[in-house]
Structures are given as structure tokens and as C-alpha cells.
Amino acid sequence: MTKAGPRLPQGADAPSFVKSRWSDEEAAKLAGLDRLVYRSNRLGEDLTLTNTGGGNTSSKLVEKDPLTGEAVEVLWVKGSGGDLRTARRDGFASLYLDKLPAMKTLYLGHPERGPKTAIEDAMVPMYSHCVFNLNPRACSIDTPLHTFVPHRNVDHLHPNAVIAVVASVNQERLCREVYGDEVIYVPWQRPGFDIGLLIEKSIRENPKARGVLLGHHGMSSWSDDDKACYETALEIVERAARYIEARDRGERTFGDGSTPRCRTPSGGASRPRSCPGCAGGSRPSGGWSPRCRTTRRCSASSAVTTDRAWPASARPARTTSCAPRSGRSSPAGTPRAETPRR
């Protein structure tokens, strides 16, 4: 592990939106996988950085091969379904790093490859052939995001501030405006093998980049030093939060209030008439509108508001429709709210 100076600004320029939970004293007592567990726990403790059960971390470490006794490089990555805040040693999958290039060769040799292709799905069970020390922990779907980054440590997160940038209409322009060439932008793509190779290619083209913003998804940071990787993640979040704060217009941030509003039958809080399916608003005949697909809820109903920035491939298959809560009468032709399926 290389030594690196502090990444986060100090003094008057110290972060105001993120807080470093890293302790050099505690980290100095740890080595190898234990330091990855420590870093993961510190990230998972802050729910502004990632949601419970979301995000994943990794380290490429030298281990002793249990069969040959030789030193081998191993990718340790948070296992599928695990939680960063509560992760322990047994919560990480382990893969022989020198076997993973064979998976890349297999993927690139297929004539029909790309997102949602049969070969991309077929790559998932191939990780079983790369397992180090018979580790039963299953890999995360985001393992390629870690495998093909040419740095020893990677942190992949879903911070609120960053998602506010990457879920916007002008996400690519905003990424350049906030980070310059220090952070790469990659458009939305389903997690899998192909996006890992796309990030690898982007890093080759931008070798000085310290992280990536993933459209409609989240972010990753990387470094050969584990503390620097952690602090780079915090820096990316801090810069997004500062950018947003500097442009906050209070109640006018999401409009000037000139949009006509409508009321629910109960006289509760209102929403714009332009929301498809809204009681009293414009709604296509036939009921539920497929445009109402986000999870931001109206205080007066079980409705969800429209978000046109979602790409079609990223939309959930089915969500709550624009209708009053259960137990209240629905306007003619408006379907009742349904419980979202997981």
C-alpha cells in the first residue's frame, strides 16, 4: 500500500456536507482484508453516501494460495446482498485476479455481446471458476466495475448529492462542470460485464481520472491507497453537494410556482395538473400512465410524480399509480393505488 497525503481540504475549505469517519489510529492496527472491512464500515455508516444494502467496495490484495503456497493476487469485493455498514470478513467474495482476464477473452470473443445479451448473463456463473480458497460468498453484480479498474481499491456508492447530478437531464454537461477531467462520465447502462469494460476503456483514455459518475446510478472512486480511495469518494460527494447548494433557490428551485395546481378530493396538498393520472389533471384515457414511475410521493396521495429524465431501460417494471390512498374513492377512470412489487 502506498502512502498518500490528505485528499480532503483542510481549514476554511474543509468539507461541510460530508464527514470523514476514518481514524488513522484504528486503521494502522489493521491489514489486508481487515482494512477493506474497516473502510466499508466507515462508508456504510453514513446513509447520505449509500443506501442500506447498496454500494460495494473492493481491494486487490496479495494472499497465500492454499494449494500451492505461492503468493497470488486476489480481488476481494463485497458480496451480493451484503450491507457495507455491517459487513465482516465473511461478507466479501474472493477471486483469483489472474483468472479474470480469461472471462474477458470469453466475453469479447462472442459475436453478440453487450447489455442484456445472452453472453452477458452467461458471464455471471463464470465467476465460480475464479473463486479463491473455496469462498462461498457470491459476487456482486457490480464486480466488473471493480475488476477492470487498474487500481488496487475501488468504492462504488449511491450518494444523494451525486444522484441528483447523474439523474438530471444535462448530467454529462454537469459532470464536466463540477469535476472537469478528474471524474469520468458514463451513461446509464445495466450493471454487468459490458459496463465494466466501458469503464476500463474510459480510464485508458483519461488516465488521470480519480472516479466515475454513472448516469442514473451512482459513482465510483479509486486509488492504490485505501484511505485516498475513501477520501476521494467523499470529495466527489462534497463537490456535488456544494454545486447544488450554490444554485439553490429555495422554494423556486423546482419552479416559480406559476404551474396550475389541482386538489385531491379530500382537499389535501396539491400537485401540478401536468402530472399524468393526477386527480383533476390531464390523464390519457384508459387509466394508469407509464410516465408516472419515480418514487417521490405526494403527501396527499399514494401517487408518484413524473420524472422524464429516466431512460426507458432504467424504469421499474411497475410502480404505484397516480390515485388516492386506499379507502378513498377514486375519480372516474382513475385506478386505485397498488403496492409496489419487489
Q: Where residue 182 falls among pLDDT bands split at 50, 70, 90?
A: very high
Q: Where residue 151 falls among pLDDT bands split at 50, 70, 90?
A: very high
pLDDT, residue 149, reads 96
Give 32: exposed, middle or buried? Use CB within 10 Å, 0-12, 13-18, 19+: middle
Q: 214: helix, coil or strand?
A: strand
Tens digit of each residue's pLDDT (9 = 90 or more) over 247-271: 888 877 766 666 665 555 555 554 4
Residues 6+ away with beta carbon under 8 Å from 29: none
Q: Where residue 81 falls among pLDDT bands split at 50, 70, 90?
A: confident
Residues 6+ away with beta carbon under 8 Å from 115: 189, 190, 192, 194, 195, 313
- How many whole angstroms from its chain centre is CA 318? 21
Cβ–Cβ < 8 Å for 252, 258: no
Cβ–Cβ < 8 Å for 338, 287: no
Tens digit of each residue's pLDDT (9 = 90 or more) over 277-320: 333 333 333 333 333 333 333 333 333 333 333 344 444 444 33
- Taking the C-alpha atoms of residue 232 and residue 205, their distance in angstroms, rounded to an integer, is 20
Q: 219: helix, coil or strand?
A: strand
> Secondary structure of the chain: what % helix, strand, coil (to 5)?
30, 15, 55
Who has greater pLDDT, 30 or 52?
Answer: 30
pLDDT, residue 147, reads 95
- Taking the C-alpha atoms of residue 26 and residue 4, their distance in angstroms, rounded to an integer, is 17
> What is the average pLDDT value for the chain, to the nearest integer?
79
Question: DSSP characters for 166-212?
Answer: HTSTTHHHHHHHHHTTSEEEE----SSHHHHHHHHHHHHH-TT--EE
Tens digit of each residue's pLDDT (9 = 90 or more) over 37-61: 999 999 999 888 887 778 999 999 9
Q: For residue 330, is pLDDT > 70?
A: no
- Taking the C-alpha atoms of residue 116 and residue 113, their distance in angstroms, rounded to an integer, is 8
Cβ–Cβ < 8 Å for 190, 172: no
Mind listing the domains of the chain with CATH numbers? Answer: 18-246 (3.40.225.10), 264-342 (no CATH)
Give 92: exposed, middle or buried? Use CB within 10 Å, 0-12, 13-18, 19+: buried
User: Residue-wise over 204-231: b if at least 16 C-beta within 10 A, else e?
Assistant: eeeeebbbbbbbbbbbbbbbebbbbbbb
- Taking the C-alpha atoms of residue 134 and residue 131, their distance in angstroms, rounded to an integer, is 6
pLDDT, residue 23, reads 96
Q: What is the 3-state secondary structure (H, E, C) of 233-253?
A: HHHHHHHHHHHHHHCCCHHHC
Look up residue 276 and give its amino acid.
Answer: P
The three grid cell numbers given for residue 253, joined into one nine-digit string: 428551485
Residue the block writes with cell 467496495: 57
pTM for the full predicted model: 0.73
